[in-house]
């Protein structure tokens, strides 16, 4: 599956799919064989997998307890602004038709 | 026209909820906010590292979604559209402030809303590995050191877990470019992290 003719983009795609675990068993076997002959790339791929695993342990940042209250207030202002604009536009339209 | 109930809105897909908002159903806005507030916060926090700034950006994203609701077309996923808005806001803020070069993982005393992270993966507490915690902390810092083009695709792929197609849509780049940037971004992260990610240490 892999040879010296395998181009840079194909290798890149295999690296991404390997890290994402999107390769078939046969593809994994072939790719790992290829990696064992390219130690530098093998090291890079292993380290990428380590980093990928670290993301799962990364703390999740969530909105605070006052977020909803502040959002409601900002949205109310937005609706008010929209209503004012609409009224102004209506007043102007009436003025023109009068 | 028959009014849509709140319960019905909750059952709808994002795109259907957006359609309701376009039709003037204001409750649809709350549904969108509830579905996306934490996802967007976790995304934008990688740019701000400040909860107050981050929440402002998340709120601004939602307000822009509302203001631009009529320009949304169903051909795009609502999430993709929203991430595009959020990313543009984050970039604008980043350019304005240019203060993301140093970060602290400790509580920010100037941030009134500062609080501890929520750790969802209990494994980290169980194995209590100081090394892993240090690595995660270093990874947070390393992400901020990444070239901006690399960081956005890495965060969207590895943290937000979006597909390559979605990332291409959000960043306005070709899928091949997205893949190359992810690959190169990961290599750059390895260079920054150095010994922290030597595979034999895990």
pLDDT digits (tens, 9 = 90+) for B62-94: 999 999 999 999 888 999 999 999 999 998 887
Question: What does the pLDDT read at residue B102?
Answer: 43
Q: Is A64 helix (H, G, I), strand (E, B) or coil?
A: coil
Measure CB to CB from residue B182 to each of A16, A58, A62 and give the nearest one.
A16
User: Which positions ≥6 away from B190 have C-beta within 8 Å?
Assistant: A44, A47, A48, A51, B197
Runs of H (alpha helix) within A20-61: 25-36, 39-56
Report percent pLDDT > 90 for chain B: 59
Residue with the bigger pLDDT between B3 and A81: it is A81
Long-range contacts of B172-181 (CB under 8 A, 24+ apart): B172/B84, B176/A9, B178/B153, B179/A12, B179/A13, B179/A16, B180/A12, B181/B149, B181/B150, B181/B153
Closest CA of chain A from B165, distance in Å: 14
Residue whose C-alpha is closest to residue B189's, from A68, A50, A16: A50
Number of H helices, E strands in chain A: 4, 0
Question: What does the pLDDT read at residue B81?
Answer: 96
- For all residues of chain B together, what is the average pLDDT? 84
Q: Which of B143, B150, B158 to mutate to test the interface with A (most CBs of A within 10 A)?
A: B158
- Please give the ipTM for the structure prediction: 0.80
Is B128 in CB contact (< 8 Å) with chain A? no
Measure CB to CB from residue A58 to each of B136, B193, B199 and give the nearest one.
B136
Instruction: Report yes or no: A19 and A28 within 8 Å, Cβ to Cβ.
Output: no
Residue B117 has pLDDT above 60, yes or no: no
Measure CB to CB from residue B55 to each of A54, A58, A67 and give the nearest one.
A67
Closest CA of chain B from A18, distance in Å: 12
Instruction: Report yes or no: B85 and B57 within 8 Å, Cβ to Cβ.
Output: no
pLDDT digits (tens, 9 = 90+) for B128-168: 567 788 888 899 999 989 988 999 999 999 999 999 999 99
B198 and A47 within 8 Å at the Cβ level: the answer is yes
B29 token code pair:
């806005």
């Amino acid at each position: 599956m892999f040879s010296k003719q395998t181009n840079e983009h194909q290798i890149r795609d295999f690296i991404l799919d390997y890290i994402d675990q999107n390769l078939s068993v046969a593809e994994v076997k072939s790719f790992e064989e290829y990696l064992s002959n390219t130690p530098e790339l093998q090291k890079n791929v292993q380290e990428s997998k380590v980093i990928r695993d670290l993301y799962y342990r990364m703390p999740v940042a969530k909105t605070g307890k006052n977020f909803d209250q502040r959002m409601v207030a900002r949205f109310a202002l937005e609706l008010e602004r929209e209503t004012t604009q609409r009224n102004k536009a209506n007043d102007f339209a009436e003025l023109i038709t009068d | 026209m028959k009014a849509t109930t709140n319960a019905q809105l909750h059952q709808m897909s994002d795109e259907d909820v957006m359609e309701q908002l376009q039709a003037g159903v204001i409750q649809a806005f709350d549904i969108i906010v509830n579905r996306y507030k934490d996802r967007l916060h976790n995304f934008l926090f990688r740019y701000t590292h400040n909860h107050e700034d981050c929440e402002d950006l998340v709120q601004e994203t939602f307000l822009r979604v509302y203001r631009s609701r009529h320009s949304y077309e169903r051909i795009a996923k609502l999430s993709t559209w929203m991430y595009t808005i959020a990313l543009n806001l984050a970039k604008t803020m980043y350019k304005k402030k240019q203060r993301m070069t140093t970060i602290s993982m400790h509580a920010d005393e100037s941030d009134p809303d500062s609080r501890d992270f929520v750790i969802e993966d209990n494994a980290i507490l169980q194995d209590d590995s100081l090394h892993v915690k240090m690595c995660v902390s270093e990874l947070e810092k390393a992400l901020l050191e990444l070239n901006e083009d690399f960081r956005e695709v890495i965060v969207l792929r590895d943290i937000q877990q979006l597909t390559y197609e979605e990332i291409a849509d959000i960043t306005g780049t070709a899928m091949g470019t997205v893949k190359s940037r992810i690959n190169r971004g990961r290599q750059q992260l390895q260079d920054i992290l150095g010994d922290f990610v030597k595979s034999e240490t895990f």
